[in-house]
Amino acid sequence: MPHVIVKMVEGRTEEQKRALADALASAVTASLDCGEDLVSVAIEDVRDEDWMASVYVPDIRQRSGTIYRMPGYGPED
């Protein structure tokens, strides 16, 4: 039962979020060969000025072993 959490900078419309959730559910269903009724998608809006401290550092940098696609940005190490 896959559950996908998307964190993104705020500003997208509810229509865009629904379209993203539907597309992700379809991709998960196709990739994992499971029923679409088993897939859930959550979307969390984050303020742009909070992104590095509340998402990049704890979710990307500190959990790099769980990231299968790294972003092309980040602070200098």
Is residue 74 situated within a structural domain? no
How far apart (Å, rounded) are the C-alpha atoms in residues 25 and 35?
9
Q: Mean pLDDT over residues 34-41, rounded? A: 96
Q: Mean pLDDT over residues 59-65, rounded? A: 95
Q: Does residue 71 have an active-site annotation?
A: no
Is residue 40 situated within a structural domain? yes
* pLDDT over 90 percentage in the chain: 95
Is residue 33 situated within a structural domain? yes
At residue 74 the predicted structure's pLDDT band, cuts being 50, 70 and 90, is confident
Task: Count the domains in the chain.
Answer: 1
pLDDT at 34 over 80: yes
pLDDT of residue 75: 76
Contact (CB, 8 A) for 5 and 42: yes
If phi > 0 it is left, if psi is from -120 to 50 it is alpha, else beta; for residue 42 that is beta
Is residue 2 situated within a structural domain? no
